[in-house]
């Protein structure tokens, strides 16, 4: 399939043969033979319970990045209530490993792989960036011995700390009441404070994590903007490479150009490609 010169291959397997979840591959147009391009994993949203790799936002991101010279895979991951956690994280890490495993065939620069996600996908993108090497969150199969590290992260309005998510007023103002996001755990019988901490990117911030770009709308009534502001604050305190951009007049689920079928106040395509270019394209 072609979309304005971008080559899209859909429903490719990347997990064990018994898994139903697949990926969509976006290839840059007109690459010279032997070219090694940076790779990007795209993670859809949907509250960890729904969503699709082929939704409009993911198509918008995939085509934008492929035109900018990136090989992208937009993935489905475990949404079933049974066994949802931590398989959802495992699946995202296996997507990174898939790119490295198939680097020769796909023309991937294995030293430069990024991740981008929106909402629940933003949370999972953060988890990929900050939990590399944490034993409980590293899958054992189907790519043993292959790194799942990423070199740049873009978080679109994701939850950075599931323990501190807040209720939100109709105008997007975070309220004091907390609403922990336990949907990520699916049917897990007992959910402890330790589980919530393990599943919260905020608890894993440390030196050595990759640069992070955070994008959030100031009218978001789904994920409180304090999730991004608090993440920005802690990254600043730790002197870690990052940037927070608040998109004015914008709510939840925006893509790189539109929200609620209207143009954003700012075109995020050059912001996103510029960030990835800085960290994933060697001089």
pLDDT tens digits, 252-263: 999 999 999 999
Report the distance separating Cα 69 and Cα 64, nearest Å.
Answer: 9
Q: Using the predicted structure, report yes or no on whether residue 1 has a pLDDT greater than 90.
A: no
3-class secondary structure, 108 = strand
Backbone phi and psi for residue 73, each to the nearest 5 degrees, phi listed first: -125, 125
| Residue 10 tokens, joined | 């859909």
Cα 222 to its chain centre, rounded Å, is: 17
pLDDT tens digits, 76-87: 999 999 999 999
pLDDT tens digits, 123-159: 999 999 999 999 999 999 999 999 999 999 999 999 9
Q: Which residues pair with 174 in a beta bridge?
A: 168
Name the one residue in this structure whose structure tokens are 């960030």.
275
E strands, the chain, where?
A: 2-3, 6-13, 22-27, 37-43, 71-75, 108-118, 152-156, 166-168, 174-178, 212-217, 242-247, 258-259, 262-263
| Mean model confidence pLDDT for the chain | 96
Question: How does residue 3 score in pLDDT terms, banded at 50, 70 and 90?
Answer: low
| Residue 277 tokens, joined | 């270019």
3-class secondary structure, 101 = helix
Question: How does residue 268 score in pLDDT terms, banded at 50, 70 and 90?
Answer: very high
Is there a contact between 7 and 62 (Cβ–Cβ < 8 Å)?
no
Cis bond before residue 142 (omega within 30° of 0): yes
pLDDT tens digits, 151-192: 999 999 999 999 999 899 999 888 888 887 899 999 999 999
Cis bond before residue 86 (omega within 30° of 0): yes
Name the one residue in this structure whose structure tokens are 């591959």.
25
* Least confidently predicted of 68-72, 164-168, 204-208: 164-168
DSSP 280: H
CATH architecture of 2-280: 3-Layer(aba) Sandwich (3.40)
Strands 2-3 and 6-13: antiparallel
| Residue 42 tokens, joined | 């795209």
Q: Using the predicted structure, report yes or no on whether residue 2 has a pLDDT greater than 70.
A: no
* Least confidently predicted of 13-17, 28-32, 134-138: 28-32
**In the chain, what are the domain boundaries?**
2-280
Residues found in the chain: 283
């Amino acid at each position: 399939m072609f979309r304005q010169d971008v080559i899209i291959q859909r429903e490719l397997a990347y997990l064990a043969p018994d898994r139903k979840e697949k990926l969509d591959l976006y290839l840059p147009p007109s690459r010279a033979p032997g070219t090694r391009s940076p790779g990007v994993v795209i993670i859809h949203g949907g509250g960890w319970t729904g969503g699709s790799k082929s939704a409009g936002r993911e198509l918008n991101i995939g085509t934008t990045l492929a035109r900018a010279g990136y090989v992208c895979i937009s993935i489905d991951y475990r949404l079933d209530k049974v066994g949802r956690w931590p398989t959802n994280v495992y699946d995202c890490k296996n997507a990174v490993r898939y790119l490295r495993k198939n680097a020769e065939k796909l023309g991937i620069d294995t030293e430069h792989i990024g991740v981008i996600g929106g909402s629940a996908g933003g949370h999972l993108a953060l988890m990929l960036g900050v939990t590399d090497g944490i034993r409980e969150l590293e899958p054992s199969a189907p790519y043993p011995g292959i790194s799942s590290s990423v070199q740049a992260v873009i978080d679109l309005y994701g939850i950075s700390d599931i323990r501190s998510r807040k209720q939100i007023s109709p105008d997007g103002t975070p309220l004091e009441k907390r609403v922990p996001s336990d949907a990520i755990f699916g049917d897990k019988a007992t959910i402890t404070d330790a589980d919530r901490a393990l599943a919260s990117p905020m608890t894993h911030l440390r030196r050595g994590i990759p640069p992070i770009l955070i994008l959030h709308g100031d009218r978001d009534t789904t994920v409180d903007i304090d999730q991004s502001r608090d993440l920005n604050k802690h990254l600043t305190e730790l002197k870690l490479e990052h940037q927070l951009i608040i998109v004015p007049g914008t709510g939840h689920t925006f893509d790189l150009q539109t929200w609620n079928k209207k143009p954003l106040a700012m075109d995020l395509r050059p912001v996103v490609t510029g960030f990835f270019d800085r960290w994933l394209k060697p001089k």
